[in-house]
C-alpha cells in the first residue's frame, strides 16, 4: 500500500487551478495528525500512548502519528510517513525528516512553528524547494537590512556556533558575503501581528528562502502562509468524513494499522484529485466543491452495477 501511494500520489492542480501557485511555486504544506488504534500489546509497544492528564497518565488508546506533505489547493497528500506517537520517538519532526528529501524544486513548502530545526531546514532547502516556515519567538533572527516591502534580511546560524563565531557569521551576512551553508543561511523574515487573539496581539514571524521581495512581496507571503490551514481541512476530511468521528482504527497489529492508514490516504487522494479536476474544469476554487457530498456521489457510483470493479 505504501508503494502504491508512492507511485500514484502526485500534485494534481494545474496552472488553471485557482489558488494553486504563488508565482512559479506550487503551494504545499506539511502537518501531522494522530490516529487512535486498538489497545493491543503489539500496538501499544509500536505506537505508544499519549499523555492524558497533568499527572502524565497514559490515554485510553495508543496513537499512530501521521505526517503528510499536501497540495494546499487540492488537499491531496503526495508524501506521507507513519510512525509512533510517543514523544521519545521524536514526534512529528522525526517523521517529517523522512519527507524532506522528496520535496520538488517548484514547491513552496509552508510549515508551522513546530517543525523548525536547523538541520531539517538545511535538508529541506537543499532540495531546491522554497520554504515559508513560521518560527518560534525564541529563535534569534537579526535584522540585517529592512527591505522596501517591510520584510527584512536575516541569517540563520547553526546552533553549534559559539558566540564569537555566530557574530562573525552575522557580520558576513550583513555584508552580503557568501556563507558556508553548513554554518549559516541567508533568509528573509516577514513579521505581522494578529490583533486581539485571546485578548492580546500575537506576533507572527515567517522565515523564507525567497530572499528577493520582488519575487514574493511580504503581503503575498503572509497571505500564502494562511493556506497552511487547508492542511487542517484535509486532516479533518480524513479523520472525520472518511474514518468517522471518534472511531478507532480496527487493525490489531502494527503492520495492519499502517496498511489501514495507507488505504485511507489513498482514498482521500483519489477523492481530492477528483474534486480538483472537476473544479479546474469548471473554473472554480476546489474549496467550492464539498468533500462530503463528493464522497456520497462516489459511493453511489461505486454501488452502480454498471460500474466495473
The C-alpha cell of 113 is what? 512553528
In a domain, 308, yes or no: no
Asked whether 77 and 263 are in contact (CB, 8 A), the reply is no
Asked whether 184 and 157 are in contact (CB, 8 A), the reply is yes
In a domain, 258, yes or no: yes
In a domain, 306, yes or no: no
Structure confidence at residue 309 (pLDDT): 47
Q: Which residues of 250-263 are buried (b: 16+ CB within 10 A; e: fewer)?
A: ebeebebbbebbbe
DSSP state at residue 143: -
Number of separate domains in the chain: 1
| Global model pTM greater than 0.85 | yes
In a domain, 307, yes or no: no
Tens of pLDDT along the chain (309 residues)? 999 999 999 999 999 999 999 999 999 999 999 999 999 999 999 998 887 666 666 777 899 999 999 999 999 999 999 999 865 556 889 999 999 999 999 999 999 999 999 999 999 999 999 999 999 988 989 999 999 999 999 999 999 999 999 999 999 999 999 999 999 999 999 999 888 666 677 889 999 999 999 999 999 999 999 999 999 999 999 988 888 777 899 999 999 999 999 999 999 999 999 999 999 999 999 999 999 899 888 877 766 655 554
Spatial distance between the Cα atoms of 125 and 140, rounded to a whole number of angstroms = 19
The C-alpha cell of 201 is what? 496581539
CATH number reported for the structural domain that contains residue 203 in this entry: 3.90.350
User: What radius of gyration, in Å, describes the C-alpha atoms of the chain?
Assistant: 21
Q: Quick one: residue 140, left, alpha or beta (phi over 0 = left, psi -120 to 50 = alpha)?
A: beta
In a domain, 71, yes or no: yes
In a domain, 110, yes or no: yes
The C-alpha cell of 145 is what? 537590512
In a domain, 305, yes or no: no
Structure confidence at residue 246 (pLDDT): 73
For 299, half-sphere exposure in the C-beta direction (CA atoms, 13 angstrom radius) is 8
Asked whether 173 and 205 are in contact (CB, 8 A), the reply is no
Q: Which domain holds residue 277?
A: 2-299
In a domain, 165, yes or no: yes
Which residues 6+ apart lie within 8 Å of 204 measured at CB? 134, 191, 192, 193, 194, 222, 225
Assign 193 to helix, strand or coil.
strand
Asked whether 107 and 25 are in contact (CB, 8 A), the reply is yes
The C-alpha cell of 161 is what? 556556533
Spatial distance between the Cα atoms of 309 and 99, rounded to a whole number of angstroms = 33
Amino acid at each position: 500500500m505504501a508503494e502504491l501511494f508512492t507511485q500514484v500520489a502526485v500534485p494534481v492542480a494545474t496552472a488553471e487551478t485557482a489558488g494553486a501557485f504563488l508565482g512559479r511555486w506550487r503551494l504545499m504544506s506539511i502537518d501531522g495528525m494522530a490516529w487512535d488504534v486498538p489497545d493491543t500489546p503489539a500496538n501499544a509497544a509500536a505506537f505508544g500512548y499519549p499523555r492524558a492528564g497533568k499527572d502524565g497518565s497514559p490515554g485510553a488508546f495508543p496513537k499512530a502519528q501521521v505526517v503528510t506533505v499536501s497540495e494546499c489547493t487540492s488537499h491531496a497528500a503526495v508524501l506521507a510517513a507513519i510512525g509512533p506517537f510517543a514523544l521519545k520517538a521524536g514526534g512529528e519532526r522525526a517523521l517529517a525528516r523522512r519527507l524532506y528529501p522528496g520535496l520538488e524544486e517548484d514547491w513552496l513548502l509552508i510549515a508551522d512553528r513546530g517543525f523548525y530545526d536547523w538541520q531539517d531546514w538545511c535538508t529541506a532547502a537543499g532540495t531546491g524547494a522554497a520554504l515559508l516556515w513560521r518560527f518560534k519567538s525564541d529563535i534569534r533572527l537579526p535584522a540585517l537590512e529592512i527591505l522596501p516591502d517591510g520584510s527584512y534580511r536575516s541569517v540563520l546560524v547553526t546552533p553549534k556556533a559559539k558566540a564569537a563565531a555566530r557574530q562573525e557569521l552575522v557580520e558576513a551576512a550583513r555584508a552580503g558575503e557568501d556563507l558556508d551553508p553548513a554554518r549559516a543561511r541567508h533568509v528573509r523574515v516577514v513579521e505581522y501581528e494578529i490583533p486581539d487573539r485571546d485578548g492580546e496581539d500575537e506576533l507572527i514571524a515567517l522565515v523564507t528562502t525567497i530572499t528577493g521581495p520582488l519575487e514574493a512581496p511580504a503581503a503575498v507571503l503572509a497571505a500564502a502562509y494562511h493556506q497552511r490551514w487547508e492542511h487542517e481541512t484535509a486532516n479533518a476530511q480524513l479523520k472525520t468524513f472518511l474514518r468517522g468521528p471518534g472511531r478507532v482504527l480496527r487493525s490489531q497489529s502494527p503492520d495492519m494499522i499502517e496498511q489501514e492508514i495507507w488505504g485511507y490516504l489513498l482514498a482521500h487522494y483519489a477523492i481530492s484529485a477528483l474534486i480538483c479536476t472537476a473544479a479546474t474544469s469548471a473554473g472554480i476554487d476546489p474549496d467550492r466543491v464539498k468533500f462530503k457530498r463528493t464522497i456520497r456521489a462516489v459511493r453511489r457510483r461505486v454501488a452502480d452495477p454498471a460500474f466495473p470493479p
